[in-house]
Amino acid sequence: MAQVSMTVNGKPASGEIEGRTLLVDFIRESLDLTGTHVGCDTSQCGACVVHVNGKAVKACTMFAAEAEGAEVTTIEGMAAEDGTLNPIQQAFQDHHGLQCGFCTPGMVMSASALLAENPKPSEAEIRDYLEGNICRCTGYHNIVKAILAASGQDVSNIAAE
Amino acid sequence: MYAFEIERPSTVADAVTALAKSDENQALAGGQTLIPTLKQRLASPETLVSLGGIAEIQGICQDDDGRVCIGAGTTHAEVAAGAGAYLALAALANNIGDPAVRNRGTIGGSLANNDPSACYPAGALGSGATIVTTAREIVADDYFQGMFETALDAGEIITEVKFPVPEKANYQKFEQPASRFALVGVFVAKFADGVRVAVTGASEEGVFRWSEAEAVLSGNFSADALDGVTLSGDGMISDLHGSGAYRAHLVGVMTRRAVAAA
């Protein structure tokens, strides 16, 4: 066992880990932040996407030890302290960008990383960026629409399908 | 996963020392292949030596010969954004896996693993790159030695890859949509002294140079010049995604597209 320390959602976090402890397991089991989901555990589905030093990564395919000293943001760090949703989260709610919701934490974290590097993405750019985030409910259409809306673009002419 | 320890050295010298402590120790780069491999219990290292904290093997620069030199620990996303002096290589990096994978996976890890369907082996072999390690410099033609086989010795770590910049180049990837690896990928590079064509995803021997196409294209760099130049399906990977003959055909198609787009 070894000690690891990092900053998670702006607060110091530390704990005992094994070498093989995945970042997602540290977040969920040690920190009790269960908003980050484990879908496939094979780095295909993206339900476990978090930000490490501002970059979207799959927390199921990174060891907790490798996040020593890092700034980590999870879905729990997206809303304001008073519970006010982040604009991306609000857009997912407004545009029905989720059904069962299992993939949503990863979708929101990927969308947030996309908008940080490309504030006004096209529909094609959004779909391309979400290549590593799999949703089995929505058919993606409303997810894309929500991200377009969160980026301040007009979605009034986009039909819900 | 079987249990193991993780060490995080901050210098290449410390990483070499850590790896040398046991034959059962293994280097960990971005982990985008190694971690899934560990999960399947296909590897059982005593200690993983993480290279992620070594600043001296990260970053991109150009040397006095105009070569684009990429630190082995540089991620695919960093190459996509920072290798503007070699756009075909930046484009290749920008189409590996998905964005989250590109934020972790590194060029050194990809080349050390030498997956027969990975993109970087085609880029390195097609460019005639030089792989710099902790022990020596290895030219790409000597480096790739078959599926998952390289010239690297135990404990040897890639530190940098030096890419000569061609006059024209392009990489065409026919993507296997589930894995996002190349079903077939072809990297074409036109230098003053000839054309190089490197193929990934096709051969059971891993990445290879298609010498017949190189000879034809060196005389006439156009897609039409490849009319009648074909590759046999013998020795090609054959699986549920495509037969050997299908892959051999696809090599020709991807090569023509790469030449046309270069």
Out of A20, A41, A129, the one facing B3 most closely (by C-beta) is: A20
* Minimum Cα–Cα distance from B98: chain A residue: A132
pLDDT, one tens digit per residue, over A112-147 is 999 999 999 999 999 999 999 999 999 999 999 999
Q: By CA distance, what is A19's nearest residue in B? A: B5
Contact residues, chain B, for A63 at CB < 8 Å:
6, 28, 31, 35, 48, 50
Could you tell me which chain B residue has the CA closest to the CA of A40?
B36
Q: How confident is the model at residue A159 (pLDDT cuts 50, 70, 90)?
A: low
Question: Across the interface, which of B3, B47, B101 has its CB nearest the CB of A132?
Answer: B101
Q: How confident is the model at residue A157, as a pLDDT?
A: 80
pLDDT tens digit string along A36-70?
A: 999 999 999 999 999 999 999 999 999 999 999 99
Contact A88, A112 (CB under 8 A): yes
Per DSSP, the three-state class of A57 is strand
**Mean pLDDT estimate for chain A:** 95
Instruction: In whole angstroms, give the CA distance from residue B21 to residue B8.
Output: 14
pLDDT means per 10 residues, chain B with 262 residues, are: 96 98 96 96 96 97 96 98 96 97 98 97 98 98 97 97 98 93 97 98 97 97 96 95 96 98 96
**Nearest neighbour of B39 by CB, restricted to A2, A41, A55:** A41
Closest Cβ–Cβ partner in B4, B99, B180 for A20: B4
Q: Do B103 and A19 touch (CB under 8 A)?
A: no
Interchain CB distance below 8 Å, A61 and B36: yes
Contact between B196 and B179 under an 8 Å Cβ cutoff? The reply is: no
pLDDT class of A161 with cuts at 50, 70, 90: low
ipTM of the complex in this document = 0.95
Sheet holding B5-7, edge to edge: B5-7, B47-50, B26-28
CA distance A47 to B9: 30
Helices (H), chain B: 12-20, 34-39, 76-82, 87-93, 99-102, 107-113, 120-127, 140-143, 211-219, 244-261
Residue B136 at interface with chain A, using a CB cutoff of 8 Å: no
Q: How far is CA B198 from CA A21, B115, B123, B242, in A?
A: 38, 14, 7, 20
CB atoms closer than 10 angstroms to residue A122: 12
How many angstroms away from the CA of A129 is the closest CA of chain B? 6
pTM for the structure as a whole: 0.96
pLDDT-derived band at A160 (thresholds 50, 70, 90) equals low
Q: Which of B37, B46, B103 to mutate to test the interface with A (most CBs of A within 10 A)?
A: B103
Q: Does A41 touch chain B (CB under 8 A)?
A: yes
Chain B: residue whose CA lies nearest to A18: B5
Kindly report the backbone phi and psi dihedral angles of residue B17, in degrees, each rounded to the nearest multiple of 5, phi listed first: -60, -45
Reduced to 3 states (helix: H, G, I; strand: E, B; else coil), residue B13 is helix
Asked whether the beta carbons of B123 and B155 are under 8 A apart, the reply is no
Band (pLDDT 50/70/90 cuts) for residue A75 is: very high
Give the nearest partner residue to A132 out of B36, B47, B99, using CB atoms: B99
Distance from CA of A83 to the nearest CA of B (A): 27
Element (H, E) at B71: strand B68-71
**A38 CA to chain B: closest CA distance, Å?**
14
Q: Which residues of A touch B36 (CB under 8 A)?
A: 42-43, 61
Distance CA B244, CA B233 (A): 5
- Residue holding tokens 């990927």? A110
A42 interface with B at CB cutoff 8 Å? yes
Tokens of A94: 């407004």
> How far, CA to CA in Å, does A100 sit from each of A105, B149, B235?
12, 44, 46
Residue B248, C-beta contacts closer than 8 angstroms, at least 6 positions apart? B202, B230, B231, B232, B233, B236
How large a percentage of chain A has pLDDT more than 70? 98
Please give the residue of chain B at the shortest CA–CA distance from A69: B53
Are the Cβ atoms of A129 and B4 closer than 8 angstroms? no
Of B4, B32, B77, the CB nearest to A61: B32
- The reported pLDDT for the residue numbered A156 is 85
What are the tokens at A95?
């545009």
Taking an 8 Å cut-off on Cβ atoms, the answer to whether A41 and B31 are in contact is no
Pick from A26, A43, A73, A117 the residue to mutate for testing the B interface (most B CBs within 10 Å).
A43
Query: What radius of gyration, in Å, describes the C-alpha atoms of chain B?
Result: 18
